[in-house]
Structure 1
Amino acid sequence: MSAPVSPARGVYQEATRVLLRDSVLDAVRELLTERDWSRISLTDVAKHAGVSRQTLYNEFGSRAGLAQGYAIRLVDRLVDHVDGAIEANVGDVDAGLRDAFGAFFVDSAADPLIRSLLTGEAKLDLLRLITLDSAPVLDWATTRLTDVFRNSWVAAPAAESAILARAVVRLAMSYVSVPPEPEHDVPAELAMLLAPYVAVVLARRDAATGGDHGGTQTG
């Protein structure tokens, strides 16, 4: 029987894996500034990241797995934008959601993989990643964002946090393949759509607990 892995060793191994994934995904991003996704091979990525092709296969499995890893990092940025915007707008859900959507749309528009998706020849593998095969990416972001709504000043109950998280993630990702119309303030419109739901959830929470968690503004 093999010796058990110590907690310290486990933490080190996970940190090493995170560093590897970040290095590889950074390499993909850098390559995408030079050429289209359709012209990037796993060999190109491995060479640019300074790792072996086998290491790349072991971590991501395939070219599709590599694209999925990149997409997960993209939705991680969405969660980070929401987290930061909520904390920067304590008591004002409308402003928090507006700022979060706005920052994500700007981020997405500048992302080289998204730009590659929207230009040049059709890329069915990327399109499937945010449509038919999007479940892993959406589930990852929803789980993280649910925790944000539960653990921030919003402190919404678990079920309602999950409902809000799913809505935010799906709405945000729907604009990746079809960018927001320039004649509309889409972040503000989405915030107007979602903020009343949050206000109801928080009113019920406060009524149930008999407390005031800071109040909310919805416009």
Structure 2
Amino acid sequence: MSAPTSDRPTYAAASKLLLRTSLLDGLRELMTIKDWSQVTMSDVAKHAGVSRQTVYNEFSSRNGLAQAYALRLVEEFTSEIGAAVEAMPNDVEGALAAGFAGFFASASQDPMIQSLLSGEAKPDLLKLITTDSAPLIESASRRLDTTLRESWIALPEHMSGPIARMITRLAISYVAMPPEADFDVAGDLSAVMSPAIVAARGGS
């Protein structure tokens, strides 16, 4: 008789996740007092109380650290959409508007995005959301695809993927150029995207 399987993470996996979370949280705290251009791997290690080699083992490079941080940001975006979908059943446009608005609000307060938009140009950060954005788009699209298929929206699989990618690309495009304060960009985006989702659901 085989041993029962469990979805619970192993101790090693849980420890690794805790370390990664602590390092990324520490980076966020550091960027509230130092511009990204001034943050070093040693700074992150010292702030977290670990060795510099530990930080390199986890992220490989400073660019890897920035990418991991950016990946967590897009995960927060998909969580905003997911929470809005759950809170607003049968209201596609309202859920999208709330999700976009929540993401834009949190992104505007994020220290890495603030660093990207202020001071000297930071090509490494800009590349993360433009020419090197494939990992971000893939991660967020995959999570959104699940929401679009498994929530009350219940899109068919052949439509959920393309729509998830479009929503993701739209959201990321506004990171480098935030929405104008005098326009309801979240509402505009949801008004444009929701008819496609409604049509893919069969008009309901």
Q: State if a TM-score over 0.5 links the two structures.
A: yes
CA–CA distance in structure 2, aligned partners of residues 82 and 125 of structure 1 = 27
Q: How many residues align?
A: 200
Aligned to 2:25: 26
CA–CA distance in structure 2, aligned partners of residues 39 and 55 of structure 1 = 20
1:114 to 2:92 alignment: no
Aligned to 1:3: none
Closer/same/farther in 2, CA of residues 193 and 8 from structure 1, 3 Å limit = closer
CA–CA distance in structure 2, aligned partners of residues 93 and 111 of structure 1 = 27
For residue 77 of structure 1, report the CA deviation from its aligned partner. 0.4
Q: TM-score, normalised by structure 1?
A: 0.88
CA–CA distance in structure 1, aligned partners of residues 148 and 101 of structure 2 = 18
- Give percent identity, aligned residues only: 48
Residue identity opposite 1:177 in structure 2:
A
Structure label with greater radius of gyration: 1
**CA deviation vs aligned residue, 1:98-148 (integer Å, no higher than 9, x gap):** 000000000000000000000011111000011111111111111111111
CA–CA distance in structure 2, aligned partners of residues 180 and 91 of structure 1 = 27
Aligned to 1:157: 156
Aligned to 2:81: 82
Runs of 4+ aligned residues of structure 1 deviating over 3 Å after TM superposition are 6-10
RMSD: 1.5
1:125 to 2:124 alignment: yes
Residue identity opposite 2:29 in structure 1:
E
Residue identity opposite 1:153 in structure 2:
W
CA–CA distance in structure 2, aligned partners of residues 140 and 9 of structure 1 = 22
1:141 to 2:143 alignment: no
For residue 159 of structure 1, report the CA deviation from its aligned partner. 2.0
Please say which of residues 106-115 and 149-158 is displaced more in the overlay: 149-158
Residue identity opposite 1:25 in structure 2:
L
CA–CA distance in structure 2, aligned partners of residues 8 and 143 of structure 1 = 20
Q: TM-score, normalised by structure 2?
A: 0.94
CA–CA distance in structure 1, aligned partners of residues 9 and 198 of structure 2 = 42
Please say which of residues 89-98 and 14-23 is displaced more in the overlay: 14-23
CA–CA distance in structure 1, aligned partners of residues 106 and 30 of structure 2 = 18
For residue 39 of structure 1, report the CA deviation from its aligned partner. 0.4
Aligned to 1:16: 15
Structure 2: tracts of 5 or more residues without a match: none
Residue identity opposite 1:179 in structure 2:
P
CA–CA distance in structure 2, aligned partners of residues 129 and 34 of structure 1 = 22
Residue identity opposite 1:197 in structure 2:
A
Aligned to 1:56: 55
Aligned to 2:192: 193
